[in-house]
């Protein structure tokens, strides 16, 4: 059984990786943030030497967009410097390194779902800091780094501890407080269930995949408006929904208008994720049964 040292056990993705690990014959070892902080290089190094993992998976991020704009130094510390340090430690200790990135490395100008080889051009501090992390890891440890880009992640009963929820939970909450709900119809995304992302990530690790960048999202794409329509339909919520065009801006921060991703490389390896509708359906069922 291979050992995985996991950073981010309380997160949407981290929690799902822990759930799924055993069925892929991985022993997943994780710690609370205080005992495994990506910004504490020495602490991480000690854990790697003590545990001797085969793989290190980093799901941590500084990813609230407004906070990244206000504190670019913090965004760079967690999303770039820490990722660079992890890549160095993994290289020096012969550990496979997996770290997550985002659709926000793209500017959305392509107008079609992005493939792994497409040119990046981030529009905001968050995307820039994550792209810096990608470059650092892939240049320091190209022979052992997997960068997995994903999009619109949702999962768990409470969603992301960093973001205080997720789109699905927040838009359901909004329906309790408002009569008219306005949702962006111009931003096209590939919303992804953390459970499907974790399974696909573990399949990738169990495959003959070569290191490099991989896109892993639920299949297909939709606007946030269409996603909301589906969430409300599945929950029997009958509120007035209004599609709006925010011109790619939200809270004054630029977002790509079209940042759906294609899982081109994973598909070539036979790793197929369910559609976004299927992922959402299972998440809504999970929330109802919780």
User: Residues touching ligand NAP: how many (CB under 6 A)?
Assistant: 28
The contacts of residue 161 (CB under 8 Å, 6+ apart) are 10, 11
248/59 Cα distance (integer angstroms): 27
Q: Count how many Cα atoms sit within 13 Å of the Cα of residue 111 in the half-sphere of its side chain.
A: 0
Q: Of the ranges 137-145, 151-159, 174-182, 218-226, which one interacts with ligand NAP (CB under 6 A)? A: 151-159
Does the footprint of ligand NAP cover residue 86 (CB under 6 A)? no
Shorter beta-carbon distance to ligand NAP: residue 14 or 21: 14
Q: Of the ranges 65-73, 153-161, 182-190, 202-210, which one interacts with ligand NAP (CB under 6 A)? A: 153-161
Instruction: Identify any residues that bridge with 160 across adjacent strands, giving them in sequence order.
Output: 165
245 in helix, strand or coil?
coil
Does the footprint of ligand NAP cover residue 39 (CB under 6 A)? yes
Q: Are 266 and 200 in contact (CB under 8 A)?
A: yes
The contacts of residue 130 (CB under 8 Å, 6+ apart) are 61, 79, 80, 101, 102, 104, 105, 122
Does the footprint of ligand NAP cover residue 12 (CB under 6 A)? yes
Shorter beta-carbon distance to ligand NAP: residue 11 or 256: 11
CB of 145 to ligand NAP, least distance (A): 14
- Maximum separation of any 2 CA atoms in the chain, in Å: 56
CB of 57 to ligand NAP, least distance (A): 10
Nearest to 195 by CA among 15, 30, 71, 59: 15
In the complex, which residue's CB is closest to ligand NAP?
A: 11
Shorter beta-carbon distance to ligand NAP: residue 165 or 239: 165
Tokens 């359901």 label which residue?
A: 172
Q: Are 215 and 146 in contact (CB under 8 A)?
A: no
Residue from 85, 120, 129, 160 in contact with ligand NAP (CB under 6 A): 160
Does the footprint of ligand NAP cover residue 218 (CB under 6 A)? no
Could you list the residues that contact ligand NAP (CB under 6 A)? 7-14, 33, 36-39, 59-61, 63, 78, 100, 102, 150-153, 160-163
């Amino acid at each position: 059984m291979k050992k995985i040292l996991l950073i981010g056990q309380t997160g949407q993705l981290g929690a799902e990786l822990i759930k799924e690990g055993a069925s892929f014959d991985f022993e997943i070892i994780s710690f609370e943030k205080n005992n495994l902080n990506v910004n504490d290089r020495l602490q991480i190094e000690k854990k790697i030497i003590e545990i001797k993992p085969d793989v290190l998976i980093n799901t941590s991020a500084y990813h609230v967009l407004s906070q990244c704009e206000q504190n670019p130094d913090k965004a760079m510390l967690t999303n770039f410097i820490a990722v660079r340090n992890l890549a160095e430690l993994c290289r020096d200790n012969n550990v496979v390194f997996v770290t997550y990135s985002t659709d926000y490395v793209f500017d959305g100008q392509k107008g079609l779902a992005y493939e792994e080889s497409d040119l990046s051009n981030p529009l905001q501090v968050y995307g820039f800091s994550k792209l810096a992390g990608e470059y650092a890891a892939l240049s320091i440890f190209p022979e052992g780094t997997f960068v997995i880009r994903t999009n619109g992640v949702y999962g768990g009963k409470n969603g992301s501890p960093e973001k205080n929820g997720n789109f699905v939970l927040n838009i359901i909450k909004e329906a309790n407080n408002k009569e008219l709900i306005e949702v962006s119809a111009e931003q096209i995304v590939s919303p992804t269930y953390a459970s499907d992302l974790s399974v696909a990530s573990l399949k990738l690790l169990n495959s003959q995949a070569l290191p490099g960048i991989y896109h892993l999202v639920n299949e297909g794409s939709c606007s946030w408006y269409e996603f909301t329509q589906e969430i409300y339909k599945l929950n029997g919520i009958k509120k007035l929904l209004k599609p709006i065009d925010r011109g790619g801006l939200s809270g004054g921060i630029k977002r790509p208008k079209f940042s759906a991703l294609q899982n081109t490389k994973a598909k070539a390896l036979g790793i197929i994720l369910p559609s976004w509708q299927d992922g959402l359906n299972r998440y809504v069922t999970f929330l109802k049964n919780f």
